Amino acid sequence: MKLKTLVVTVAVLFSGSLNAETLSVVSSFSVLGDVAKQIGGERVSITNLVPADGDAHAYQLSSADAKKIASAKLVLLNGLGLENGDVMRAVKQSKVAYAEATAGISPIKNEEGAHHHHHGEDGHHHDHGEFDPHVWHDPVLMQKYAANVTAALIKADPAGASHYQARFKAYSGELVKLDAYARSQFNAVPREHRKVLTGHHSFGYLGKRYGVTFLAPQGVSTEAQPSAKTVAAIIRQIKQQGIQAVFTENIKDGRMVERIAQETGVKVGGKLYSDALSQEANARTYVDMFRYNVRAMSGAMKK
C-alpha cells in the first residue's frame, strides 16, 4: 500500500515540475522563434504569430493572437518597426514581459523615403519607419540578437539560467561558423559580380557585411507595387551590369521577378528565404536559411 502511494506522489511531483518548467513564449515571427528555440531547448514552448512562409509585413493581429499574447509568460519581438502598432499595443496592454531582440543593435537606416512611405494594396498607409528591421541577414549582428533573447529567457525563468547560457554559447559558435562560411563564399566572387536582384529589400544587412549589392524593385516593404518605370530601369541595369543572380522569395508572389528575368534572358536562380523560415528542408531553422541563401546567391554569381 505504502509503495503505491509513494509511486503516485512521485509521478504527480514529476509531472508538476515538467509543466512548471516549460516557459510559454510568444514570438512575433518564425526566425525569432527559432533563435528562442535553439537557446531555450526543452525548457520553452514557442508560438509564432507569423508562421513559416508567412509575410510579417502583411500580418494583421487577430483576437486569437491577442489571447496567445495575454496568456504567454514572455513575448519576443524583433523591434525596429517589423511589428505593427496593433501588435505593440496588444503586448503593452497584456502586461506580459516582453523583449526586443534588436535592442542595442545599430540598425541600417532605410535609404529613400520612397522605399517605405507608400500605400499598400488595401489602400492603407504603411509606414515602414526609419530603420531596416531585417537584421537576421547578418550573423555577426545575430550574436547580440541571440544574447538579447537569452537575457529575456533568463529573466523570465531564472532557474534555467545555466541551461540558457550553455545553449547560447553553443549557438554563438554556430553563428561564428555561419559568418566564416558567408565570407569564404562571397570573397570567392569579385566585388563587381556580387550583385543580386530580389523582390523586396530585405538583404541590406547581408549586403553591408559581405559587400553584395542588392537591387529590389519593391523597396523595403513587400506591399509596394513597383512602377513600370522602376521595372524598366531594373531591366536596363541587369543588362548593363551583367547581373547573373536573380531570385524570387518564399514569402512573395514571384511573377514580377520572373518577368524581369524573361526580358533580360537571365535565368531565375531559385528562391531565397527572406523574412520567414520554411516548411521545406532548405530553411527549417535560421542557420539552414542563412546557409541556403548564401550558397544560392554565391552560386548564381559565379556562373
302 SS3 class = helix
Q: Does residue 145 belong to any structural domain of this protein?
A: yes
- Residue 6: the pLDDT is 53
Question: Measured between alpha carbons, how far is 235 from 14 in angstroms, rounded to an integer?
Answer: 64
Q: Does residue 237 belong to any structural domain of this protein?
A: yes
**Longest CA pairwise span in the chain (Å):** 86
Name the DSSP class of 144: H
User: What residue type is 40 in one-letter code?
Assistant: G
Same-domain check for residues 157 and 212: no
In the chain, beta strands by DSSP E: 23-29, 44-50, 74-77, 97-100, 117-119, 125-127, 195-197, 213-215, 245-249, 268-272
Please identify, among 145, 172, 199, the residue that sits at the C-terminal boundary of a domain.
172
Q: Give the strands of the sheet with 74-77, arranged side by side.
A: 44-50, 23-29, 74-77, 97-100
Please identify, among 172, 202, 230, the residue that sits at the C-terminal boundary of a domain.
172
- Residue 85: the pLDDT is 93
- Residue 33: the pLDDT is 98
What distances in angstroms separate CA 175 from CA 7, 144, 209, 284, one per listed residue?
45, 11, 14, 16
Q: The domain that contains 271 carries what CATH number? A: 3.40.50.1980
Same-domain check for residues 70 and 117: yes
Q: Does residue 164 belong to any structural domain of this protein?
A: yes
- Residue 242: the pLDDT is 87
Question: Measured between alpha carbons, how far is 194 from 297 in angstroms, rounded to an integer?
Answer: 9
Q: How many CB atoms lie within 10 A of CB 112?
A: 9
254 SS3 class = coil
Question: What is the residue-level pLDDT of the chain in tens, covering all 303 positions?
Answer: 555 555 555 554 554 445 556 999 999 999 999 999 999 999 999 999 999 989 888 899 999 999 999 999 999 999 999 999 999 999 999 999 999 999 999 999 986 443 433 333 333 334 458 899 999 999 999 999 999 999 999 999 999 999 999 999 999 999 999 999 999 999 999 999 999 988 777 899 999 999 999 887 655 455 556 777 877 888 888 888 888 998 888 767 778 888 888 888 988 888 899 989 998 889 999 999 999 999 999 999 986
Same-domain check for residues 210 and 98: no
- Residue 234: the pLDDT is 81
Same-domain check for residues 166 and 197: no
Q: Does residue 182 belong to any structural domain of this protein?
A: no
Give me the domain span that covers residue 281.
Answer: 189-302
Same-domain check for residues 118 and 220: no
Q: Does residue 178 belong to any structural domain of this protein?
A: no
Same-domain check for residues 166 and 230: no
Same-domain check for residues 150 and 10: yes
